[in-house]
Structure 1
Amino acid sequence: MMEIRFNRFIKLGVMLLVASLLIGCASTNGPEQVNDPLESVNRGVFTFNEQVDIYAVGPLSRGWVAITTDGMRTGVTNFYRNLAAPGHALNAALQGKWGQAGEVSGRFVVNSTIGLLGLFDPAASMGLNTDREDFGQTLGVWGVEQGPYLVLPLLGSSSTRDVARYPVDWYTDALVWLALDSATLGAFTALYVINTRARFEQQVQMQRDAPDPYAFSRSAYLQRRQSLVYDGNPPLDEDPYSDFFDELEGDN
């Protein structure tokens, strides 16, 4: 059951832009007791992000879907995931998951060569590990508490712990080192944002249909991050949306 919930929340994680922010120090009581002292500010940022999506990112992503095929978009997704693999391998190693780190590294080599720079995913047929670890998860495994919930401009849901993952994951992404200049990097980043947003159209609409989209997004994020830190088997916590999420089992 927790594996199903883990996969479900993976779908809900939408990242809109690349940036870096400073980490703060704070404690948390866990997702069952939402730690959101900045809720009024967070709701304002959430509304801003929603407007950006409604008037810019959303329409661009739907246009992208109109002029591309499922296969093309899958290839783009594979390409970006492959470039992020070195960072995933590093974080797996930092968490002491040496076998996983080796498999992810193997995936990177196979997909970067046989898979034509990652456009294809032959490593999947070889059964190589597809798990993705970021620095926020690493801090969680090390015992750093989640801290207050945050909503970042354009990036969306985060926390005072998870915000530290952006600079680390940024500099361990091969794209940053392969891009010839800032204009090229910006173009690749824009394509990543649009292609990623296109994958989550249904989930975005589901969030907007919730009685309280902000609370829905917060709950989904906190449970997802908790699940990631515990590798899909976090402690069972009470959540106001848990029954609703159970009804989405068919989406998997």
Structure 2
Amino acid sequence: MTLRTLLSSLATRMALLLLLFVVLAGCGATRQAPEHTLAETSFRVPKSRAIDAQDAQRIEQESMLYVYDPLERMNRLTYNFNARFDRAVFVPVVTAYQKTFPRSVRTGVSNFIGNLNEVPHLANSALQANQNKVNTTIIRLFTNTVLGVGGLFDVATDLGFEREDEDFGQTLSVWGVPDGAYIVLPFYGPSNARDTAGTAGDMVFSYYQMEYLFDIAGVSDHALARNINTGVRALNSRSEVPFRYYTTDTPFEYDILRFAYTRARVLQALD
């Protein structure tokens, strides 16, 4: 190949590359948004496609599942912690408990704890000034303690006296205390600002109630008895709840549970 032929070949290739570059540049130009290529007229008004922050908040609040949750980031972290603890500790222990003891024994334990809880139910019914609930709870406490062998059998329910599950959070609600922000408590789960204060109040009441009963029973080691009482109550409560974390087949499990808890508390306040 002569030098002249070589230079001619290189020139041809350079021309083709230059033509290809021009074509690609032209294609890139046509990809520009059409509104950027139109001439400016009085009919064109600049408008952002981004949703305004206030509009986004309004849309969220109008959602069926909306609950006031300013601590959502922290609450979701706590929710994930509770889910892992539940799966690693609570569920295996509950499963072993259910396999070890027959249903009749577990029912007796549940009835006995329920009878102990009638005392705070009675106190909260009185604080709510609800005479009907006070009367029902007194009847239940007396009937199950005497005829139900200390509460091992729920005779009162069989007689038509249903349990009045009144807690201090409901008492605060009766007297006009608002829900406040939604809160996920470690180990306990869904709550809100008012119910968190109510849970603390119920825990203090239960503590002194059990200390009094330990004294009556002649228990010398209150610390051991207290730990056993806490463990049995937690085990019984978890065994009565069929819910399992991350088994609802929805990415909105947190939102649904938050909404369900909030609506349930509203209905309980109306009862």
TM-score higher than 0.5 here? yes
Deviations 1:167-223 (A, max 9, x none): 32223334353244122121122112122212223x225864333221122111111
> How many aligned positions are there?
202
Q: 1:176 to 1:210 in 2, by over 3 A?
A: farther
Q: Distance in 1 between matches of 2:245 and 2:80?
A: 15
Aligned residue number for residue 213 of structure 2: 178
CA RMSD of aligned residues (A): 2.1
Partner of 2:58: none
User: Which residue of the partner structure matches residue 153 of structure 2?
Assistant: 120
CA separation in 1, counterparts of 2:65 and 2:144?
A: 40
Distance in structure 2 (CA, Å) of the matches to 1:170 and 1:100: 21
Q: 5 Å matches for 1:1-252?
A: 33-173=66-206, 174-179=209-214, 180=219, 181-201=222-242, 203-204=243-244, 208-231=248-271
Q: Determine if contact 1:207/1:217 at 8 Å carries over to the other structure.
A: no
Identity of aligned residues (%): 33
Gaps of 5+ in 1: 1-28, 232-252
**AA matched with 1:145:** P
| Contact 1:100–1:129 (Cα < 8 Å) also in 2 | no
Q: Specify the structure having the higher radius of gyration (Cα).
A: 2
Cα contact 2:66–2:259 (8 A) shared by 1:
no
Normalised to the residue count of structure 1, the TM-score between the two structures is 0.74
Q: Which has the higher contact order (CA 8 A, sep 6+)?
A: 1
Partners of 1:154 and 1:224 in 2: how far apart?
19
Query: For structure 2, which runs of at least 5 residues remain unmatched after alignment?
Result: 1-60
Instruction: State the alpha-carbon separation in 1 of the partners of residues 162 and 91 from structure 2.
Output: 32
Structure with the bigger percentage of helix: 2
TM-score normalised by the chain length of structure 2: 0.69
Q: 1:131 to 1:33 in 2, by over 3 A?
A: same
Change (3 A) 1:219 1:176: farther
Tell me the SS of whatever aligns to 2:244. Answer: helix
Q: Would you say the 8 A contact 1:170–1:176 is kept in 2?
A: no
